[in-house]
Every structure is written in structure tokens, then in C-alpha cells.
Amino acid sequence: MNTALTKLYDAADQSGIVDKDRTVGATTAKVSTMDISALTDSTADLATLGDYVNMVDAALTDVTSAASDLGAVKTRIGLQTTFVGNLMDAVTKGVGTLVDADMNQESTKLQALQVQQQLGVQSLSIANQSTQQIMSLFK
């Protein structure tokens, strides 16, 4: 699994960043289930509240890091998509060029054969005329 995704979601315990147990000082809690409504302004509760703030800061750092990793992955995917698109265009152009080159080659061969055929017909015509002229001399 991708590092960015494992930061967002832990498949082992099926928890995300806000569902993960965090321990700061003597306090262990999940950001998603924190309840500060029962806290008072006592020293112990203020220490717990400070621990909660540190836990939320750590969770925000994890979210920021995971979002940064996802952004980097998105950029890499975009670059790969562009590369593949350019590669496909190059292959298409290459095939088109090969087909055009084959068509030009075949067209040149056809023209050469037509010229050979015309020369053959003209040669036969000249040979027939020469034969007729020689025959007319013997009459």
C-alpha cells in the first residue's frame, strides 16, 4: 500500500488519522472521540486539555503530511498520464509515417512499372514497323 494512504488509513486496526489512539503525557485518547465538556479549570484538567491540544496538533501534522504525499502522488500520476499521451501520439505519428512511406514506395514502383510497360509497347511498335519496312523492301 502507498505510504500516503497508510498515513491516512491503517488497515491493521481500520483506523484513520483522527481514529488513531494518541498518547501525550499521561493522556491517551482519539481525536475523533475527545470530549472536553467535563473538564474544569483544575490543574489536572488543564494538563489534560494541554495534552488534547498537542494530540490535535499531531493529528493536523499527520493530515498535512498525508495531504502533501497525496499531492505528490497526484502530480506523478499527472506526469505519467502526460507521458503516456505523448508516447501514444508519437506511436500514432510513427505508424502514419510508415504507412505514408509505404504508399510513396508503392506509388513509385507502380510508376516505374507503367513506364516499363510503355517502353515495351513502344519497342514492339518500333520492331513491328521495322519488320514491315524490311518486308516492303523485299516485295
pLDDT tens by residue, 22-81: 888 888 888 888 888 888 889 988 999 999 999 999 989 988 988 898 899 999 999 999
Helices (H), 9-42: none
Residue 56: the pLDDT is 92
Which residue type occupies 23? Answer: T
Is residue 7 within 8 Å of residue 49, measured between CB atoms? no
pTM of the model: 0.57
**Secondary element (H or E) of residue 29:** strand 27-30
> What residues does each domain of the chain span?
3-101
Residue 28: the pLDDT is 85
Is residue 2 within 8 Å of residue 73, measured between CB atoms? yes
Residue 10: the pLDDT is 66
CA–CA gap between residue 32 and residue 19 (Å, rounded):
6
Q: What is the arithmetic mean of pLDDT over 87-91?
A: 93
Confidence of residue 9 (pLDDT cuts 50, 70, 90): low
- Farthest-apart Cα atoms in the chain, separation: 144
Residue 121: the pLDDT is 87
CA–CA gap between residue 48 and residue 41 (Å, rounded):
10
What are the tens digits of pLDDT across the range 97-112? Answer: 877 777 778 888 889 9
Residue identified by cell 488543564 is: 46
CA–CA gap between residue 36 and residue 55 (Å, rounded):
13
Residue 78: the pLDDT is 95
DSSP bridge pairs for 24: 27
Residue 84 predicted with pLDDT over 60: yes
Let me know how long the chain is: 139
Residue 128: the pLDDT is 78
